[in-house]
Chains A and B, each alone.
Chain A
Amino acid sequence: GQNIDQPTEMTATEGAIVQINCTYQTSGFNGLFWYQQHAGEAPTFLSYNVLDGLEEKGRFSSFLSRSKGYSYLLLKELQMKDSASYLCAVHTNAGKSTFGDGTTLTVKP
């Protein structure tokens, strides 16, 4: 089976930097996704890491360490609109993605 852990809630200040961690245990690992989901809306794709290291996309960066079963999403220059749930998902060679329960991020002024 698969086990994915991420913090339930985090709070940060507008303009700051926040790091959301995700640890996982799985077999047949292919890659790791990060999605953003605003309340009542569909998740939207942020990043997909296959190899170890950091990938940067504008204000968002994602890091992966396959040997440690660890990933993080880094959000810089936080804006109020970044308040959302951030979902870590492990994709396996069985062809499916298993999602963590998500981290609810609240950005305060």
Chain B
Amino acid sequence: DSGVTQTPKHLITATGQRVTLRCSPRSGDLSVYWYQQSLDQGLQFLIQYYNGEERAKGNILERFSAQQFPDLHSELNLSSLELGDSALYFCASSPTPQHGYTFGSGTRLTVV
């Protein structure tokens, strides 16, 4: 157990639907990062939050949004889902960059 908790582990949904992925960071970590990993691509940075505020944004689609709550857990919302959104979605947390990121076990999203 890395200390970063992601739920659900697996999600199967239909095109056009909306889903919410949840992440609880490791205790004491204020930063939360979301990454997408498709079969034919590496880890793609989506978005970072630090203590409730958006800090950095990557190639996140407009159909996707995220937020970090006062208790520091974060949610990634994916809407109007397309087949190409099928991927592993990882959440990571970190106290400082020097410690590296601790990744959760990921949510495997399958859009059918």
Q: For residue B1, give the distance in angstroms from its CB to the closest CB of chain A.
A: 11
Q: Is the CB of B100 within 8 A of A45?
A: yes
A41 to B15, CA, bound (A): 26
Among B2, B33, B42, B98, the residue within 8 A (CB) of A96 is B33
Give how many B residues have a beta carbon under 8 Å from the other chain's beta carbons: 24
A41 to B37, CA, bound (A): 11
Among A31, A43, A50, A95, the residue within 8 A (CB) of B56 is A95
Among B58, B98, B102, B106, the residue within 8 A (CB) of A50 is B98
Q: Is the CB of B45 within 8 A of A48?
A: no
Tell me which residues across on chain B come within 8 A of A35, comparing CB atoms: 100-101
Interface membership of chain B positions 90-112, coded 1 if the CB is closer than 8 angstroms to chain A and 0 otherwise = 10000001111111111000000
Residues of B in contact with A (beta carbons under 8 Å apart): 2, 33, 35, 41-45, 48, 50, 55-56, 58, 90, 97-106
